[in-house]
Structure 1
């Protein structure tokens, strides 16, 4: 997604939301002059009390960002991400942006050995420790495997629910999982969460203990409508696809236990 320097922060935020992306490129006279991420909009604009409807992207973007050519290698991208602590690199040819390589893309496609991707992930999340630590290689591998496990589930949700991209899939996954976990008893919720990807677990464990009887199929689908900007009929299909995918990722016994605690409307939806 490409905008110009005079577009506002509000327009950039709407473009990021509408296209389910994490950043927009900024071009002037057909040449890349900056990049504005969702974090830039939050920290540099809202965090400073600037009016998003009158503040231009040029005031909050990262000017003259680091770039690569489409002919550069994956190794070049990984090295740059690690050295400069960045997650996205515009691909530029003859001064014009022709694409964007992201850390999520590299992990999802398993484009490099675990050790190399782990070093980037570690830098991004602030993990540390001495470079010669005996535990460092295994910790790196664990972090990348955790991210890769989550990415696989997100990709499966995206495909099964026919969603536009990974960001939509993550939002749908969060809406459905939050609803299911809140509807379970506290003990069953913990058993269910324990079988989900580890990167999802902290947020789900932080939810209020259930069972929350206000959670229904209708409330979960309404959340999907609000988060994804879809109509009610599609939200119903997305709910079934996401819930079925999630329950298929845990053990059959655990899936049965979860379903047994759901109200009748949810049980019928998942049995259809």
Structure 2
């Protein structure tokens, strides 16, 4: 184990791959040494690497796409993946690499970070302050909009507000032409961009106020009477978050029942 610690320190790296006769059998990270060795009071001079390493680590070939690395990091709760070719280690892809290279949309990288919070979170390089700040700003922007939706739509939980925002935003995007959808999406929080851009090109005239309200009822667990004020609250919040000119451009491509929802006053709550 002491040899692994010295290798980490000497090479200024966060992990070493353990091999046996050329075959990858494990991986040891600085965090492994801290938690599994020092945290348990093990003797660094006598403890074997096998006692603290993660055995049989997931690997990828050098030809793998960054999307595959991101998926594995999120699914396996890891942040380093050895690259193996012909049973020989040829490199290592890390979360730091993906962040520095901007190899994926912010929301995908954020998902990797969030999946690891329970395990102490990723140990990010000191080279990443700008990227971390960018990600933090993107998350804060979305959280503010979700809170506004929650207040405006009268929803009890933030996750309901997030779902309602995603449903209404996606429905509006589907009603727009491709070019107008791009302009609309560009003014929404960046963490929503990937999912909205992945929608089929519009305009999809099957999307109506009625279908949106039905989707809200189905996904939020609310009754039909509450769907209209929720839709109106979300739509008003979206309208306030984009430019007046963009509001008019979007309204111009919507049917009349959806045009009004972007600007209409808040309806009284059911039973009022």
Name the TM-score class by shorter chain: 0.5 to 0.7
- Displacement after TM superposition at 1:232 (Å): 1.6
Please say if 1:158 is aligned against 2:147.
no
- Residues of 1 paired with 2:156 and 2:213: CA distance? 18
- Displacement after TM superposition at 1:193 (Å): 0.3
Query: 240, 243, 246: which one pairs with 1:248?
Result: 240
| Structure 2: segments with no counterpart, 5+ residues | 1-76, 78-109, 265-272
CA offset digits 1:60-89 (Å, max 9, x no partner): xxxxxxxxxxxxxxxxxxxxxxxxx8xxxx
Query: 229, 234, 246: which one pairs with 2:226?
Result: 234
Alignment of 1:169-180 (within 5 A): 169-180=161-172
Larger radius of gyration: 2
* Contact 1:172–1:224 under 8 Å retained in 2: yes
Alignment of 1:86-165 (within 5 A): 123-124=113-114, 131-133=125-127, 136-165=128-157
Query: 168, 191, 202: which one pairs with 1:210?
Result: 202
CA RMSD of aligned residues (A): 2.5
CA offset digits 1:137-171 (Å, max 9, x no partner): 00010010100000000000000001011100011
Change (3 A) 1:181 1:123: closer
Change (3 A) 1:221 1:129: same
- Residues of 2 paired with 1:130 and 1:156: CA distance? 31
TM-score, scaled relative to structure 2: 0.52
Query: Number of residue pairs matched?
Result: 153
For 1:159, what is the secondary structure of its paired residue? Answer: helix
* Contact 1:122–1:143 under 8 Å retained in 2: no
| Structure 1: segments with no counterpart, 5+ residues | 1-84, 86-119
- Residues of 1 paired with 2:220 and 2:114: CA distance? 27
